[in-house]
Structure 1
Amino acid sequence: MEIPVFTVDAFTNKPFKGNPAAVCLLKHELSDDLYQGIAAEMNLSDTAFITKLSSSDTFTTGSRFRLCWFTPATEVDLCGHATLASAAVLFQHEGNKNPVVVFETKSGDLAVSKQGDGYVMDFPANPPAQEDPTEWKDLVKAAVGDLPVQHVCFCSTTKYALFRLDDSCDRSVLTSLKVDPTALLGSEKSGRVNALIITVKGSPGSQPGYDFYSRCFVPWAGVPEDPVTGSAHTVLGSYWSKELGKTEMLAHQSSRRGGELKLQLKDRRINISGETVTVLQGTITL
């Protein structure tokens, strides 16, 4: 069996920035063990598998595909950067002729369209609820130490925790944080958390005017820190839209690689836009 595979840097227009995802094009579905083995071999935060819905479809003419995502350790229910990368492979490398492609996923239908030099993903919005900080004190301590935390929130849909640092903290405080993934795992063993987001308010008056910054840690799925996380922004976008009174926002995930996302809230949905760069193309032989 030969499987075409691409490595695509998502939420960036520069190679080796943003979040790299592997994208595999499949004629038919594989076993979960094989999906997991390929994802472990690729050893990126996520590997996406695009499958044709029928033998008569092609990656060039089809408008609907099945899509799933695996980290090196487990399958996940929603992944933004690997969805963006998947759309880029279909549009750029397979020459898909449709204005919109729709992926059937565990999180429902996800539509992606071309827009300028990038793509727009139509995702579910996942607003978090504020929590009592004392109930999260161990994870707060493990994540940010003694830094002041303004809000502790949790999204039960995604199982993402969100810690907003006080407005006295700026981006430099966020980027200088040294978060130990082992300490996170040790402080949260209940199984209720899939990922931890740490965020600070931005400075829209400056250039390029980011509304907020964030970092995302996913050691519970085998990813110590995810470089740029589309799924986290379904939570972040919902949270900051309410806090800032805005439906359109520009966000920056301030990992070492870094990445930029444009967000637009629409009812219970959120449009997440970004660019991509393909850095590798090859074949997996099994």
Structure 2
Amino acid sequence: MKIKINVVDAFTSVRFKGNPAAVVITGKWLSNEKMQEIAAENNLSETAFLVEDDNGVFTIRWFSPMTEIDFCGHATLASAYVIFSENYQLSHISLFAESVGMMKIVKKDEGFIQMDFPNRMPHPVNDVPEALLQGLSIKPKSVLKNNQAYFAVYSDEDDVLSVIQDSEQLKTLAPYDVVVTAPGTQFDFVSRYFWPANGGDEDPVTGSIHTGLAPYWAKVFGRSKLMAYQASKRGGIVKCEVTGDRVLISGQAVSYLEGYINI
């Protein structure tokens, strides 16, 4: 059986930058085992699988090469890019994920796609795990946590750019990942995302974690609209807007591959 697949670079307008994600849209769900095998074969941060219902709502699931993920922003952006590219008349779509709920996705100017996500504000951690401190080469000034990751906050962008992770230490924090962040120079804030427990050493651009980063920095700066940069080797730009219990995450995307897989 042949199934169409797209690979899209998300949170960038430049091919080979941002975060690549595979998108597979089918008429009915493949088995969990088959989806995991496809994601492992793709060996990208995430592969998104989507099925459309009779009302035009797409249910989406995300798989890393290792496991199913409960929330992935860049693969959601990649999926929306594919749907909009194949349906030019659409200005917005609805996506549903069991762990996130309904997400309204809107096509904006200059190629940006805006995604409406839950606000996942992190909260301070009183007892910082020793594995976190041992797993980062530079000690953070403060540590917070939400239901996705530990937030290691630094005072200076250079610390975020320079910090070296110890994957074996950070892996013991599972199911939590680790994001390091600081105020930026050219952007409001910068970050890097380490996730050895769930997918790989460092994720190129992580849309989901900005639902925690944006409200944190919005409170620090006292304003709701922010521009962020995830400072991985590939790098990516993320527009953020905090609106109460929701966070609007926007990014651009560019197609890399269209083809078919045989299963």
TM over 0.5: same fold? yes
Bucket of the pairwise TM-score, normalised by the shorter protein: over 0.9
Match status 1:82 vs 2:75: yes
After TM superposition, the structure 1 = structure 2 runs for residues 1-286 of structure 1, keeping only pairs within 5 Å, are 1-54=1-54, 63-92=56-85, 94-106=86-98, 107-116=100-109, 117-132=111-126, 134-143=127-136, 145=137, 147-155=138-146, 158-165=147-154, 167=155, 169=156, 171-186=157-172, 188=173, 191=174, 193-203=175-185, 209-286=186-263
Q: RMSD of aligned C-alpha atoms?
A: 1.4
Q: Alignment partner of 1:231: what SS?
A: coil
TM-fit CA distance, 1:123? 0.5
The separation in 2 between residues aligned to 1:173 and 1:135, in whole angstroms, is 19
Number of aligned positions between the proteins: 261
What percent of counterpart residues are identical? 37
Q: Quick one: which amino acid aligns to residue 19 of structure 2?
A: N
TM-fit CA distance, 1:148? 4.1
Q: Please list every run of 5 or more consecutive structure 1 residues that lacks an aligned counterpart in the other structure.
A: 55-61, 204-208
Q: What TM-score results when the alignment is normalised by the length of structure 1?
A: 0.87
The separation in 2 between residues aligned to 1:153 and 1:96, in whole angstroms, is 41
CA contact under 8 A between 1:63 and 1:98: conserved in structure 2?
Answer: no
TM-fit CA distance, 1:99? 1.7
Q: What TM-score results when the alignment is normalised by the length of structure 2?
A: 0.95
The 4+ residue runs of structure 1 with deviation greater than 6 A are none
Q: Alignment partner of 1:161: what SS?
A: strand
CA change 1:125–1:84 in 2 (3 A) is: same
The separation in 2 between residues aligned to 1:174 and 1:271, in whole angstroms, is 24
Q: Alignment partner of 2:129: what SS?
A: helix
CA contact under 8 A between 2:134 and 2:166: conserved in structure 1?
Answer: no
